[in-house]
Amino acid sequence: MDPRESFTIAARSIRSHKLRSALTVIGVVIGIASVVAFATFGASVESEIVGSISDSGANNVYVLGQPADEEGFEQALQPVFTEYDIARLSEIPGVEAVIPRGSIPANSVTHRGETVSIQGATATTPAAVTNETLVAGRSFRSGADETVLNRAAAETTFEGNVTVGDEITVRRTDETWNLTVVGVVNGTAGELPVGNFGPQPQFYVPADPYYQAVVESPGANARQRAYPQLTVVAVPAETLAVTERVETYLREESDARHLAPSGVDLVARTSGDFAEQISDVIQQITRFVTGIAVIALVVGAIGIANIMLVSVTERTREIGIMKAVGARNRDVMELFLLEATLLGAVGAVLGLPLGLAVGWAATRYAEVGFAFAPYWSALAVLVGVLVGVVAGLYPAWRAARVDPIDALRYE
């Protein structure tokens, strides 16, 4: 049988049962759209987070404690990097600066009579605020009652924007700080890159005099401030070499190796390392969620198989007439298989733009950039067509085995 004739007959059969065919195609459309929507949203989140991490400083090396298991997470946040370590790390070839970071618990912050709760402030040094990150103002001075906010804190924490020169009051359990806002930064200042759906409000204050975590330094034989994290700014061309040198120092000479709790490893990581780890996690989640969406495709395949079996029964006499005038078993099988494939293909073609639209809407809701997932989209369309082929195999085989004599007698 001529392929064009087979296509015409298959299309005519689908059109003759518009409602039944439409309901069958909807099952495939939902399956394809679900896969494409989840994959697109996952790719968009991955692109947003990995992009923000990569932009946070390609030449930054983040020094921190890494727990061996989930139970050691709180221990990894203990301050173990002393001022002795900071001075020694600054002497490593290829290091431009070493920026400490410590967390200071706080209860609330007040601006122009409006008070909001906060988790705390970040203590660091003036070097954490660079001209590249500054949106307005300048960095704070050590020993001064000054603070720098990121844009999220300046624009979203209070009903009115906080600007340079404003006064804010930070309240802790046992004391109150009156601080002058001297700068606003875009993003974060020397912070560990983490994936967020948008930046979180951050308040930065000088470690001197506000940060009071001190330990006994084995190297300096004196009590010194200690921090849970350091950011080593490397010469851009030597980032990898600096990372290796920092890891060697941590392992062989640092105070932190004596102060770190058991079960906590001292590591040096670049932005690329964090981006790769987060990307792997997001991809695993995307594959898992998309795999669940594939269940909808299975339901669509069952719908196609069911409708094709019904079609074989309804057209038994037609099959007998076709065989009586010379149609071979292969021609009959080809006809029904083509009809099932058309149903799957139409579902795939309609499901792809619907899935992209849903994925785009999800990215707007989550406030992340839209990123197309070509691999998953192409795979979804291919699977949609294959669903039609696989679902139509048994009905087509059954139609081809119909005895023409019995078929002509069928009423």
pLDDT tens-place string over residues 101-127: 999 999 999 998 899 998 889 999 998
* 77 DSSP assignment: T
DSSP codes, 302-368: HHHHHHHHHHHHHTHHHHHHHHHTT--HHHHHHHHHHHHHHHHHHHHHHHHHHHHHHHHHHHHHHT-
Q: Cα(339)–Cα(345) distance, rounded to whole angstroms?
A: 10
Q: CA–CA separation, 61 vs 98, rounded Å? A: 9
Distances (CA, A) of 29 to 32, 42, 54, 222, 302: 5, 20, 37, 69, 13
Pull the structure tokens for residue 206.
């000088």
Average predicted confidence (pLDDT) for the chain: 83
**pLDDT tens-digit readout, 259-315:** 988 888 899 988 777 777 778 888 888 888 888 877 887 888 888 888 887 777 777
Contact yes or no for 281/42 (Cβ under 8 A)? no
For strands 146-150 and 203-206, give the pairing: antiparallel
pLDDT digits (tens, 9 = 90+) for 313-329: 777 777 777 777 777 77
Amino acid, res. 129: V
3-state secondary structure 99-126: EEEEEEECCEEEECCEEEECCEEEEECH
Distance (Å, rounded) from C-alpha 3 to C-alpha 16? 20
Report pTM. Answer: 0.65
Residue 368 pLDDT class (50, 70, 90 cuts): confident
346-367, pLDDT tens digit by residue? 888 899 999 999 999 999 888 8
Question: What is the spatial distance between Cα 229 and Cα 43, in angstroms, rounded to a whole number?
Answer: 30
Q: What distance in Å separates the CA atoms of residue 35 and residue 166, rounded to the nearest whole number?
A: 50
Which residues, 6 or more positions from 68, have their beta carbon under 8 angstroms from its beta carbon?
Answer: 263, 264, 265
Instruction: Tell me how far apart the alpha carbons of residues 369 and 375 are, in angstroms, rounded to a whole number.
Output: 18
Write the pLDDT tens digit of every residue in 378-403: 888 888 888 888 887 777 777 777 76
DSSP labels, 202-255: -EEEEHHHH---EEEETTTTEEEEEESEEEEEEPGGGHHHHHHHHHHHHHHT-S
